Amino acid sequence: MSDYQIKGFAAYKSTYQKSVKEPEAFWDEIASENFVWQKKWDTVLDWDFSKPEVKWFEGAQLNITENCIDRHLETRGDKTAILFEPNDPSEATQHITYNELSERVNRFANVLKSNGITKGDRVCIYLPMIPELAVSVLACARIGAIHSVVFAGFSSTALSTRINDSDCKMVITSDGSYRGEKTIDLKGIVDEALQECSVVETVLVAKRINSDIQMKEGRDKWLQLELGAASAFCKPEMMDAEDPLFILYTSGSTGMPKGMVHTTAGYMVYTAYTFSNVFQYQENDVYWCTADIGWITGHSYIVYGPLANGATTVIFEGTPSYPDCGRFWAIVEKHKVNQFYTAPTAIRALAKESLDNLEGYDLSSLKVLGTVGEPINEEAWHWYDENIGKKKCPIVDTWWQTETGGILISPIPNCTETKPTYATLPLPGTQPALFDENGVELEGNNLEGSLCIKYPWPSMARTIWGNHNRYRETYFSAFPGTYFTGDGALRDGDGFYRITGRVDDVIIVSGHNLGTAPIEDAINEHPLVAESAIVGFPHDIKGSALYGYVTLKEKALSRNPDDLRLEINQMIADLIGLIAKLDKIQFTNGLPKTRSGKIMRRILRKIACGEVDNLGDISTLLNPEVVEDIKENVI
């Protein structure tokens, strides 16, 4: 494998310039020299953002698992591919070599086939962070089935919505999962979800917690038994470059979650290239990303990116606070982790605890620290730098999205400078731009605007499953001819980017994207609720937390408000998941509306953030009187 790692700022600059001046030649070279292809492409790139349509490496044929597994077997067969660290620190770590991973993926792929799954079928994966999660993802890719991983913290309703949206024929789950001291009945959640799903034919169940669960005759099968009967080699399916690799759902500001579709070749090339560069991974390093594979960070930077580079990647089943708040550091010491990648919410939560939690742990193996998921505040950045990196590890503040597939803006360690709260400079191949509210591109520096990307990059999502119109509307209509990210950003005097946050109705809570509309819909399902509006407000650990304004029906007057609050949060937990619960619920006599009946979230947001003296002109509202009442009763 030739080395596509950039070393030094001068190399970054020339590489970046080439990627902008001659993007096709740039990606042609990277793709040619660093991957295994069954057939080379006819064209590097074909694109039209007005349709929008983007195709990379058309005409090429490949299988991503040959790149993530098979090609390493000769030189790295005995190297650890996956280092599995269980929830319970007294349970043994598993070292899964590339040879073992190969056998497990091949067997699993044969199990999928023998259960009727073929190329193009959708398979839903609802598993905890155990090796089977990575193995099942790769097994799907081996046979060309499209995986749709659903984070195992989502409720049964959220799960069934996602299964039905993409007509999954199979669900892969486990008898349960561990989370700190608790166990969660995942199979029970699947059973409940499947009451609403008619297309699912088979449920494969991995044993993890050995609980006594119901197996539905003819539908449910124990994974371990199936694997035992499967052969250890499965020929990789040849995939076209633009064949879908996976669907991953992300919240929009309105309506259903969006099933972002990622395709094979471009996604592989870009995640591999950025993994190598952003983390400056060296052959014998141990890399650990604490995300869940249920999110894009886990797909791109636990599974595909690291494995395509023949890396050792850690999969951690537990939580940062079990059995105590030193767990992350115990794992860093135990496995001599070299690159550590986590989210600002985890950093803030750990920074709140005593530094005693770090006491005695040797963190000297660390070389690079990463953060992702939301803007990192200055205090958390410095805590991370001083206490974890001991001021010798560059912090890569990586900005990207489910839709972008891979990291687009980030420092490269020892190449580009770091600057607290800044994602800094675009990676090669990324052409960011800022636009003002009139749709005019802002030229020059020291500016703030809506962040857009002007040119395609290989790992961009190609569509929303079953709804290309929505894809166009959401990403390509606000600023015609460019991809709109939904984020605001500023560009400083050095051209460094700082992401300022979402400019739409998506709120990021503990690094999870939550659309306001689905949560409001869930609240409105409560029989005593008339209407509701959700806004975000600053929170020490979560970054943002949710504040709900709820207008009740008259019948509710006799009820205890705290009971109603509990019921509303239960409603949200049932319909979406615990991650979407509200921190504060204020009951109101009405919600401020424009004359056309639109709820003025801007005013509600300011009140929730304590900026009550700064509400602007409210005289044009349909019902300005409700604002006084809301201000007086703010929580």
* Contact with ligand WTA (CB under 6 A) among 240, 397, 504, 520: 397
* Contact with ligand WTA (CB under 6 A) among 52, 176, 405, 486: 486
Q: Which stretch binds ligand WTA (CB under 6 A): 58-66, 261-269, 294-302, 625-633?
A: 294-302
Question: Based on CB atoms, which residue is closest to ligand WTA, 509 or 627?
Answer: 509
**What does the alpha-carbon distance between residue 162 and residue 304 come to, in Å, rounded to a whole number?**
22
Measured from the CB of residue 223, what is the shortest distance to ligand WTA in angstroms?
A: 28
Instruction: Output the CA torsion 583→584→590→594 (10° steps).
Output: -60
**What does the alpha-carbon distance between residue 32 and residue 600 come to, in Å, rounded to a whole number?**
52
400 binds ligand WTA (CB under 6 A): yes
Question: Residue 360: exposed, middle, or buried by beta-carbon count in 10 A (0-12, 13-18, 19+)?
Answer: exposed
**What does the alpha-carbon distance between residue 66 and residue 76 come to, in Å, rounded to a whole number?**
14
Question: Based on CB atoms, which residue is closest to ligand WTA, 275 or 400?
Answer: 400
CB 94 within 8 A of CB 267: no
369 binds ligand WTA (CB under 6 A): no
Question: Based on CB atoms, which residue is closest to ligand WTA, 72 or 262?
Answer: 262
Q: Where are the beta strands (DSSP E) in 510-604?
A: 512-515, 529-539, 543-552, 584-588
Measured from the CB of residue 353, what is the shortest distance to ligand WTA in angstroms?
A: 23
User: CA 90 from chain center: how many Å?
Assistant: 29
274 binds ligand WTA (CB under 6 A): no
Measured from the CB of residue 291, what is the shortest distance to ligand WTA in angstroms?
A: 8
Question: Based on CB atoms, which residue is closest to ligand WTA, 97 or 416?
Answer: 416
384 binds ligand WTA (CB under 6 A): no
Helices (H), 234-343: 264-279, 296-298, 305-308, 327-335
**What does the alpha-carbon distance between residue 524 and residue 228 come to, in Å, rounded to a whole number?**
48
**What does the alpha-carbon distance between residue 438 and residue 478 come to, in Å, rounded to a whole number?**
10
Question: Based on CB atoms, which residue is closest to ligand WTA, 375 or 432?
Answer: 375
CB 342 within 8 A of CB 376: no
**What does the alpha-carbon distance between residue 499 and residue 171 come to, in Å, rounded to a whole number?**
37
Measured from the CB of residue 201, what is the shortest distance to ligand WTA in angstroms?
A: 31
Measured from the CB of residue 344, what is the shortest distance to ligand WTA in angstroms?
A: 8
Question: Based on CB atoms, which residue is closest to ligand WTA, 317 or 397?
Answer: 397
Helices (H), 130-258: 131-143, 156-165, 186-194, 223-228
* Contact with ligand WTA (CB under 6 A) among 26, 399, 471, 484: 399
Question: Based on CB atoms, which residue is closest to ligand WTA, 250 or 430?
Answer: 250
Instruction: Output the CA torsion 378→383→386→387 (10° steps).
Output: -170
402 binds ligand WTA (CB under 6 A): yes
Instruction: Output the CA torsion 117→120→123→125 (10° steps).
Output: 130
Measured from the CB of residue 421, what is the shortest distance to ligand WTA in angstroms?
A: 8
Angstrom distances, CA of residue 264 to CA of 47, 271, 308, 429, 449: 16, 11, 13, 18, 32
The counts of H helices and E strands in the chain are 20, 30
19 binds ligand WTA (CB under 6 A): no
Angstrom distances, CA of residue 321 to CA of 37, 88, 184, 313, 376: 43, 12, 17, 21, 20
296 binds ligand WTA (CB under 6 A): yes
* Contact with ligand WTA (CB under 6 A) among 306, 318, 326, 373: 373
Question: Based on CB atoms, which residue is closest to ligand WTA, 82 or 423?
Answer: 423
Measured from the CB of residue 612, what is the shortest distance to ligand WTA in angstroms?
A: 27
- Residues facing 148 on adjacent strands: 124, 247
Q: Which stretch binds ligand WTA (CB under 6 A): 110-118, 195-203, 483-491, 536-544?
A: 483-491
Question: Based on CB atoms, which residue is closest to ligand WTA, 375 or 515?
Answer: 375
For the record, the structure tokens of 239 come out as 């995939």
* Contact with ligand WTA (CB under 6 A) among 68, 105, 245, 423: 423
Q: CA torsion sign, 462 to 289 to 74 to 104?
A: negative
Question: Based on CB atoms, which residue is closest to ligand WTA, 261 or 325?
Answer: 261
141 binds ligand WTA (CB under 6 A): no
Question: Based on CB atoms, which residue is closest to ligand WTA, 273 or 399?
Answer: 399
CB 539 within 8 A of CB 512: no
462 binds ligand WTA (CB under 6 A): no
Q: Is the peptide bond before 52 cis (omega within 30 degrees of 0)?
A: yes
Q: Which stretch binds ligand WTA (CB under 6 A): 17-25, 79-87, 381-389, 399-407?
A: 399-407
Q: Which stretch binds ligand WTA (CB under 6 A): 395-403, 430-438, 608-616, 624-632?
A: 395-403
Measured from the CB of residue 112, what is the shortest distance to ligand WTA in angstroms?
A: 27
**What does the alpha-carbon distance between residue 485 and residue 425 come to, in Å, rounded to a whole number?**
16
Q: Which stretch binds ligand WTA (CB under 6 A): 116-124, 269-277, 393-401, 514-522?
A: 393-401
Question: Based on CB atoms, which residue is closest to ligand WTA, 372 or 546?
Answer: 372
Residue 557: strand, helix, or coil: helix
**What does the alpha-carbon distance between residue 24 and residue 44 come to, in Å, rounded to a whole number?**
6
Q: Which residues contact 479 (CB under 8 A, 6 or more apart)?
A: 435, 439, 450, 452
Question: Based on CB atoms, which residue is closest to ligand WTA, 329 or 497?
Answer: 497
* Contact with ligand WTA (CB under 6 A) among 269, 307, 372, 568: 372
Question: Based on CB atoms, which residue is closest to ligand WTA, 280 or 459?
Answer: 459
Total residues interacting with ligand WTA, rule: CB under 6 A: 22
502 binds ligand WTA (CB under 6 A): yes
* Contact with ligand WTA (CB under 6 A) among 146, 163, 499, 564: 499
User: Judging by DSSP bridges, how do beta strands 182-184 and 177-179 pair with one another?
Assistant: antiparallel
Region 217-256 residues binding ligand WTA, contact defined as CB under 6 A? 250
Q: Which stretch binds ligand WTA (CB under 6 A): 25-33, 137-145, 169-177, 369-377?
A: 369-377
* Contact with ligand WTA (CB under 6 A) among 34, 106, 297, 474: 297
For the record, the structure tokens of 319 come out as 């939580």
**What does the alpha-carbon distance between residue 18 and residue 273 come to, in Å, rounded to a whole number?**
15
Question: Based on CB atoms, which residue is closest to ligand WTA, 244 or 486?
Answer: 486
Q: CA torsion sign, 374 to 380 to 383 to 386?
A: positive
508 binds ligand WTA (CB under 6 A): yes
Measured from the CB of residue 601, what is the shortest distance to ligand WTA in angstroms?
A: 17
Query: Residue 602 belongs to what H/E stretch?
Result: helix 601-608
Question: Based on CB atoms, which residue is closest to ligand WTA, 61 or 371?
Answer: 371
Residue ranges binding ligand WTA (CB under 6 A): 250, 295-297, 372-375, 397-402, 423, 485-487, 499, 502, 508, 513
